[in-house]
Amino acid sequence: MINQLSWKVGGQQGEGIESTGEIFSIALNRLGYYLYGYRHFSSRIKGGHTNNKIRVSTTETRSIADDLDILVAFDQETIDVNYKELNKTGIIIADTKFKPVRPDDTDAALYSIPFTEMAAELGTSLMKNMVAVGSSSAVLGLDIHVFNEVVEEIFGRKGAQIVQKNLEAIREGYDYMKALLGNNQGTLELAKADGQKRLFMIGNDAIALGALAGGCRFMAAYPITPASEIMEYLIKKLPPLGGTVIQTEDEIAACTMAIGANYAGVRALTASAGPGLSLKMEAIGLSGITETPLVIVDTQRGGPSTGLPTKQEQSDLMAMIYGTHGEIPKIVMAPSTVEEAFYDTAEAFNLAEEYQCPVIILSDLQLSLGKQTVHPLQFDQVEIRRGKLVTDPIPEPADKAYFKRYEVTEDGVSPRVLPGTKNGIFHVTGVEHDETGKPSEVASNRKKQMDKRMRKTKNIRFNTPIHKNCKHEDSDLLIVGFNSTRGVIEEAMDRLEQEGIKANHAHVRLIHPFPADEMLPLVRRAKKVVVIENNATGQLANILKMNVGHADKITSILKYDGNPFLPHTVHTECKELFEYGNI
Amino acid sequence: MATFKEFRNNVKPNWCPGCGDFSVQAAIQRAAANVGLEPEGMAIVSGIGCSGRISGYINSYGFHGIHGRCLPIAQGVKMANRDLTVIASGGDGDGFAIGMGHTIHAIRRNIDITYIVMDNQIYGLTKGQTSPRSAAGFKTKSTPQGSIEPALSPMEMALTAGATFVAQSFSTDLKDLTAIIEAGIKHKGFSLINVFSPCVTYNKVNTYDWFKENLTKLSDIEGYDSSSRETAMQTLMAHNSLVTGIIYQDLQRKSYQELIPGYAETPLTQADLHLDQGSFDKLAAEFM
């Protein structure tokens, strides 16, 4: 009996690899296991190697595993590309159809099962995935009754016969594997899970659900990997609330349409990835100077240009902080878990209205698409705060004087009137303007308006700008990261602790304005600071140096090959850094 | 009820004396009053260029955005508050060069807004460069040997893109222009109104006199049927697009907003921002 293992299914894209992983993991989730998934896929519809790696555990897990226990292969390429990940007790379960060959340099056992043939005998070879799911269940020692419910939910609308055939395919795969395993039964058998029902979702699900909970009622967006799930979810869920999603002609339209809707008073969202964000930059500046609330999601992927569209990277950081010409107040937040993605998205709509500026929710491909077990989301923690929105009647002005929408105030935030309000007429322009919004190039006015805008976010109120796991007053290492690296860092930390290295962990959730006051004491009391990030230039490390200094003790561990960090990489590189002073 | 004077504000336009845009400003103010609007019930979203300043010269809510993007901003405003009368406006460079992608899609999307283009066939604010509306051979600072690209025909393009309201007018004809803007505001769907609005400073070819000589009023064409797309296209081609009046109007097709499933009858700005715990639990349960 083991408490956790790692399972991977691979084959050609378009062969149902994704649904194999999906059905298997939904069943595991129902049984109460904790899951963490990572999909390897390419920017094409059919063909090309794809795989789905899932870590299954009886306790909480927040990252992919270093190695692999079970590899389910639908073609030889899957074996050739992935077998080196298999550990000593690992096994390969492969479709007999492609005459699988076990590589010479592996200890892994190969079990050949006629997935396709068995499925074809039941009616259609499409069900080969179900046979594979059944075989995998046998290895894990699962009670396959759990599939009755799952298969019904997925195939129910296709009729009872289809459901029955799929369940038979699972049963046959299960029985065949049981017979093959013989005496080996039990080596990879999983301890029973607690049977608790838990949420199982990707970061994009949480972002979309957070938007709904946070009062978002309109979205304008253009499809892009890895952000499209957000618009696809909201187009299903907004109509019952009176709202909708418009798929626009381009990213610029998506951003400017969201600005128009926010100006008119609806909480509106747009979401994209790097290439889309590059196109939205001028509009982000418009939101900044016109003080129009705007919430934008950036699900980072490999850049620049089209880059690595289906791969993990965290290289938009500087662009999100500084992007757009000129200078504007902006808030950039970086949730590090699926739960935080939910709460932060809901909160982003409050911040956008309170500070009347663009708010960027930074995610990354692994956080946005990695499907995982999620703690219950506390809806009662979600607040709706609309800042200085004017709701009282406005007295009639003398001589058609415009409302002072850009009144210079102490905190920089001015009262905000929505179009349609009687006696509230004001002008909005991306040109520098006076307190009523009328264009003005007067030097003294320019300075007043610029100062007013820039001081809005100076003392931003943000709950937990840094997630801290800092057990040590003085640390050997302070490990810093953002977005999806939180899990691997936590796992590496545990290993470092066992080796007697005093490590603290600070995960930055508010990227801009940078929470320097909170970070500085942690940096001061660390012998060394190591910043873990998926980019080539150490962007977060540079932001850290700019904001808290101590450049001499800040080092980076970087990965920009398109794949997420593994716990052992972070562990060994941190250890080397501690022992030898550099990497 | 508001009169056109109530749509005047106390800002002096920075347009050149004699600019065609003054008449467009007056026509919008008159049309707004004629259809019974109040100043706070209208939002004008404009682009960048001389004509883009128009949103600041009318006493109503106004949004002067970024170059070429007045249409998506205006559509966002209308989606958020369907009770507002939303007018988008800008120049030919704004709508037919940098913003062309939005123009063609706003036309086919058919959200209920009115788009008024002040077409002077030149870039004025940047001091005299060619526009997609400049005729081949037209000499400007950026085409010193004469433009080698043909002029775009926005009216023909609108017809092929699925427009439900296509009209053209001339800025000196205030009565006709006002009537067309009124019709555009009343039209349930996207209305495109191209207004020849001469630039007296940089365009010495397409002058007031030139338009007077070359324009044909559709009302002078006997039996002109604005409900026929085919007639509209043939007439535009026969007159090199130099016609004024309502060229085409489709009264059958529903606006985008009438077709959205579930879209609220009341402005979205009035929607409840709070979900109740029960609805949230139901949404969350779908992820278990």
Span A266-298, pLDDT tens digits: 999 999 999 999 999 999 999 999 999 999 999
Residues A210 and A174 in one domain: no
* Residue A147 lies in domain: 4-196
**Distance (Å) from the alpha carbon of A321 to chain B's nearest alpha carbon:** 21
Residues A211 and A190 in one domain: no
In a domain, A80, yes or no: yes
Q: Measured between alpha carbons, how far is B110 from B153 in angstroms, rounded to an integer?
A: 20
Q: Helices in B135-191 by DSSP H: which ranges?
A: 154-160, 174-186
Residues A377 and A264 in one domain: yes
Mean pLDDT over each residue of chain A, to the nearest integer? 96
Contact A256 B268 (CB under 8 A): no
Residues A478 and A575 in one domain: yes
Res A583 pLDDT > 60: no
Helix, coil or strand: residue A295 = strand
For A467, counting Cβ atoms within 10 Å of its Cβ (0-12 exposed, 13-18 middle, 19+ buried), the class is middle
Contact B41 A260 (CB under 8 A): no
In a domain, A426, yes or no: no
Residues 19-38 of chain B with CB under 8 A from chain A are 38
Residue A295 near chain B (CB below 8 Å): no
Q: What is the pLDDT of residues B69-127, one digit of tens each?
A: 999 999 999 999 999 999 999 999 999 999 999 999 999 999 999 999 999 999 999 99
The CATH number linked to A46 is 3.40.920.10
Res A185 pLDDT > 80: no
User: Which residues are paired to A526 by β-bridges?
Assistant: A475
Residue B253 near chain A (CB below 8 Å): no
Domain boundary (A381, A412, A436) is at A381
Q: How far apart are the first and last CA of chain B?
A: 57
Residues 212-241 of chain A with CB under 8 A from chain B are 212-215, 217-218, 220, 237-241
User: Which residues are paired to A298 by β-bridges?
Assistant: A272, A362
Question: What number of other Cβ atoms are within 10 A of residue A352's Cβ?
Answer: 25
CA angle at A337 for the pair A72 and A278, rounded to the nearest 5°: 95
Residues of chain B in contact with residue A420, where contact means CB-CB under 8 angstroms, are 40-41, 43, 61, 81, 83-84, 267, 269
Choose the closest CB to A261 out of B59, B77, B263.
B77
Residue B259 near chain A (CB below 8 Å): no
Residues A12 and A84 in one domain: yes
Residues A128 and A14 in one domain: yes
Residues A190 and A227 in one domain: no
Choose the closest CB to B40 out of A264, A420, A439.
A420
Q: How far from A486 is each of A301, A334, A475, B11, B167, CA to CA, in Å?
A: 17, 11, 18, 55, 58
Residues 26-65 of chain A with CB under 8 A from chain B are 29-30
* φ and ψ at residue A227, rounded to 5 degrees: -115, -15
Residues A37 and A19 in one domain: yes
Res B66 pLDDT > 60: yes
Contact A262 B76 (CB under 8 A): yes
Residue B77 near chain A (CB below 8 Å): yes
Contact A249 B102 (CB under 8 A): yes
Residues A16 and A101 in one domain: yes
Residue B10 near chain A (CB below 8 Å): yes
Residues of chain A in contact with residue B11, where contact means CB-CB under 8 angstroms, are 438
Q: Which pair of tokens denotes residue A370? A: 């990695």
Residues of chain A in contact with residue B287, where contact means CB-CB under 8 angstroms, are 199-201, 205, 209, 374
Res A19 pLDDT > 90: no
Residues A124 and A221 in one domain: no
ipTM value = 0.98
Residue B30's H or E segment, with its range, is helix B21-34
Q: What is the pLDDT of residues A364-385, one digit of tens each?
A: 999 999 999 999 999 999 999 9
Instruction: Give the pLDDT band of residue A582 (cuts 50, 70, 90).
Output: low
**Distance (Å) from the alpha carbon of B102 to chain A's nearest alpha carbon:** 7
Domain boundary (A196, A229, A257) is at A196
Instruction: Give the pLDDT band of residue A225 (cuts 50, 70, 90).
Output: very high
Q: Which pair of tokens denotes residue A402? A: 């415009």
User: Which residues are paired to A272 by β-bridges?
Assistant: A298
Q: How far apart are the first and last CA of chain A?
A: 38
**Distance (Å) from the alpha carbon of B125 to chain A's nearest alpha carbon:** 14
Contact A253 B273 (CB under 8 A): no
Q: How far from B121 is each of A26, B136, B194, B203, B237, CA to CA, in Å?
A: 61, 11, 11, 8, 19
Total domain count, chain A: 3
Q: What is the pLDDT of residues A140-171, one digit of tens each?
A: 999 999 999 999 999 999 999 999 999 999 99
Percent over 90 (pLDDT), chain A:
94
Chain B's closest residue to A153, CA to CA, is: B286
Residue B75 near chain A (CB below 8 Å): yes
In a domain, A127, yes or no: yes
Residues A166 and A213 in one domain: no
Question: What number of other Cβ atoms are within 10 A of residue A503's Cβ?
Answer: 28
The CATH number linked to A355 is 3.40.50.970
In a domain, A277, yes or no: yes
**Distance (Å) from the alpha carbon of B49 to chain A's nearest alpha carbon:** 12
Choose the closest CB to B262 out of A239, A246, A418.
A239
The CATH number linked to A489 is 3.40.50.920
In a domain, A27, yes or no: yes
Q: What is the pLDDT of residues B139-159, one digit of tens each?
A: 999 999 999 999 999 999 999
- B85-91, strands of its sheet edge to edge: A427-429, B61-64, B42-46, B85-91, B114-119, B191-196, B165-170, B243-249, B216-217
- E strand residue ranges, A369-502: 372-374, 427-429, 466-469, 475-481
In a domain, A343, yes or no: yes
Q: Measured between alpha carbons, how far is B214 from B241 in angstroms, rounded to an integer?
A: 10
pLDDT of residue A297: 98
Res A186 pLDDT > 90: no
Q: What is the pLDDT of residues A521-547, one digit of tens each?
A: 999 999 999 999 999 999 999 999 999
Q: What is the pLDDT of residues A489-506, one digit of tens each?
A: 999 999 999 999 999 999
Residues 439-468 of chain A with CB under 8 A from chain B are 439
Q: Measured between alpha carbons, how far is B69 from A430 in angstroms, rounded to an integer?
A: 12
Contact A438 B83 (CB under 8 A): no
Residues of chain B in contact with residue A240, where contact means CB-CB under 8 angstroms, are 262
**Distance (Å) from the alpha carbon of B216 to chain A's nearest alpha carbon:** 35
In a domain, A218, yes or no: yes
Residues A205 and A148 in one domain: no
Contact A257 B264 (CB under 8 A): no
Domain boundary (A174, A196, A218) is at A196
In a domain, A153, yes or no: yes
